[in-house]
Homo-oligomer: A and B are copies of this chain.
Amino acid sequence: MMRVFISGFGTVGQGAMETFLLKKPDIHRITGDLVHVVGVTDSRSYEVDEREVCGLCILGNKAVTGMAGHNLKEGKTTIDIMEMCDFDTLIEATPTNVETGGEGLKNIRWALEHGKNVITVNKGPLALEFAELMALARKNGCELRFEGSVGGAMPIINLCTNDLAGMKIRSIQGIFNGTCNFILSRMDSGLPFEQALKEAQQLGYAETDPTYDIEGYDSASKVVILANSVFGRDVKFKDVSVTGITSVTSEAIALAAECGMVIRLIGEVSKDKLEVSPRLIPKGHPLSISGSLNTALINTDLAGPITVSGRGAGRKETASAILSDLISIMKSQKKE
C-alpha cells in the first residue's frame, strides 16, 4: 500500500485526493498496488486516519467542502501532524512563496530527512533550494518529483529526463504562464492591456493582485526549476533576468501583426541563459500559440526541436501531474 500525506488541502490538494479515489482501479491495474491518503492538513486544521482519510471525508461529504469542522491545528504545524502519521509519500501543495520557501520548504525538508518520497507542485522550495533538496532525497534513498510545478498538465520534466534521455538538450524556450498568454492573445484581437487583464480576472485566469503573473515572476520560478532539473545547473530565483508584460502596448502588438508576428512572454533556459521577457514570434511558430495554454520548445541535438503544450493550471490538470509522479514512484518501487 502507498500511504500518502497531503499538505495544503486547498484546490490542488483536494483535487489530488479526488483523483486518487476516481483512479483507484487504474492505479491498481498499472501498479498492482493501492493508494491510501492517511493524513491531510490545511492552514487551520488536519485529519489523520491510518485506514484512509479520504474514506472518512467522502462519508462526511468533506472531500469537496474542505476541512471545516475537522481537528483544528491550533499551535501545531504540518510537521507535528506528519510526526503523528505513518506514511510513504508527501504531496506538498501549500501556496508558493518564492522569497522564503514558506511552510512548503520546511515540510519537504522534514519529509526527505525522514525517508519519505515527495511530490511537490509548490514552486517556491524548488526555485530556492533545489540542489539541497535533491541531495537530501539521494542521501535518504527517496524520490523528489515535481512534474506539476512547471506547466501543470504540460508534460515536460519527465519528458526531458526520461523520454529524451541520451539526448543533449540545448535550450528550452516556453510560454510558462497561461495568464500572460491569455492577456497577450486578447490584445492580438485589439483589446488594450487593462481590459484584457480585467477579462482574465473575470474568467478566473488572473488573481485580484496579478503582479506575480504579469511581472513574469511565475514564469521565472519555472525557468529556475528547469535550469536545475534538466540542465543540472545550480541557480536560484534571483538569478533570472525578468521582464513582465506590463510594458507591452497595443501599438507594439499592432506593429508586430503588420509583420506577421505576435508578442509572447517567453522564458528561456540553457547552459548559460536564464531569462523571461516579451518576444516577437512569427505567426505559425509553435510559440505563437493563443489562449491560456503553456508551451515549451525543447531544442535537442538529435531530435531537433520538440514542442509540448498543455494546460498550465487547474484542479484536475495539476492533479494529473501529481498522479503521473505517484504512479512513477509506485512503479519504480515495485521493481526494486
Contacts and interface: CB of A to CB of B under 8 A. Distances in A.
Contacts of A259: none
Nearest to A326: B166
A166 B323 contact: yes
A52 to B, nearest CB: 19
A159 B155 contact: yes
Contacts of A317: 302-304
A73 interface: no
Contacts of A289: 284, 286
A34 B155 CA distance: 29
Contacts of A295: 307
A77 interface: no
Interface stretch (A64-72, A135-143, A308-316): A308-316
A271 to B, nearest CB: 16
B165 A306 contact: no
Interface string A1-33: 000000000000000000100010011001000
A161 to B, nearest CB: 10
A222 to B, nearest CB: 17
Q: How many copies does the complex hold?
A: 2
A305 B300 contact: no
A154 interface: yes
Given A167-B323, A324-B166, A303 B307 contact: no
A327 interface: yes
A57 interface: no
Q: How many of chain A's residues touch chain B, expressed as a range?
A: 35 or more
Contacts of A320: 164, 166-167, 300, 302-303
B158 A163 contact: yes
Given A284-B289, A320-B300, A323-B166, A309 B311 contact: no
B155 A302 contact: no
A15 to B, nearest CB: 9
A323 B162 CA distance: 12
Given A158-B163, A166-B324, A324-B163, A302 B153 contact: yes
Given A165-B324, A166-B327, A320-B167, A307 B304 contact: no
A20 to B, nearest CB: 10
Contact of A166 (B26, B153, B291, B311): B26
With most chain B CB atoms within 10 A of its CB, the pick from A159, A165, A289, A300 is A165
A286 to B, nearest CB: 6
Interface of A: 19, 23, 26-27, 30, 153-155, 158-159, 162-168, 185, 283-284, 286, 288-291, 293, 295, 300-311, 314, 316-317, 319-321, 323-324, 327-328, 331-332, 335-336
Given A166-B324, A283-B283, A302-B316, 14 more contacts: A19-B302, A153-B306, A155-B164, A158-B163, A159-B159, A163-B163, A167-B320, A284-B290, A304-B314, A305-B311, A306-B309, A307-B308, A332-B335, A335-B335
